[in-house]
Amino acid sequence: MTRAVDKDRGAKGRLDFQSGVVLMVASLFAIFWLIPRNVPGAASRGEIAPSTFPYITAFVVLACATALVATNWKAYRSTRSSGGSRILLELAGWVVFSIATLALFNWLGFVAAGVFTTLCAIAVTRYRQHKWLLGLIALGLPLLLKLLVWQIFSIQLP
């Protein structure tokens, strides 16, 4: 990085460092407590264990979070304000959204939860120009994922 970029990094780098630390803690929590206690680890012969993909996801998040922390180590000592209250508010909103999605998944199944999640993500990102196309994507994406998971892994999603 050039010196000008280092100067501009300031608060953003500090916030990135803090976010990386939080993600590292969350992924370690998932690896050592959440997945072993809630996802069965054993698989039948010739099948993928149910815990395989959660572990892969947690390790990818851990690797990316570690890179984020390492990249922004110097910026952590910056004294600029990071705007963390807005980030915490957004994080709280995503936690509520995740809980609603999980409840919907348990109550109505993958396709309904997928449609809800996709529609909410489209609304949050403000892609609203072609509503009919976005509705088609929101309905088609979960169905396509369910079909692909069945065809590739022979796993029937609820």
Integer Cα distance of 149 and 130 in angstroms: 28
Structural domain ending residue among the three candidates 39, 55, 82? 82
Same domain, 78 and 7: yes
Count of Cβ atoms closer than 10 Å to residue 113 Cβ: 21
Containing structural domain, residue 33? 1-82
Structural domain ending residue among the three candidates 82, 106, 122? 82
Q: Does the pLDDT of residue 27 top 80, yes or no? A: yes
Same domain, 111 and 132: yes
Tokens of 32: 């050592």
* Tens digit of each residue's pLDDT (9 = 90 or more) over 64-91: 999 989 988 877 665 555 566 676 677 7
Same domain, 76 and 101: no
Same domain, 103 and 156: yes
pTM (2 decimals)? 0.55
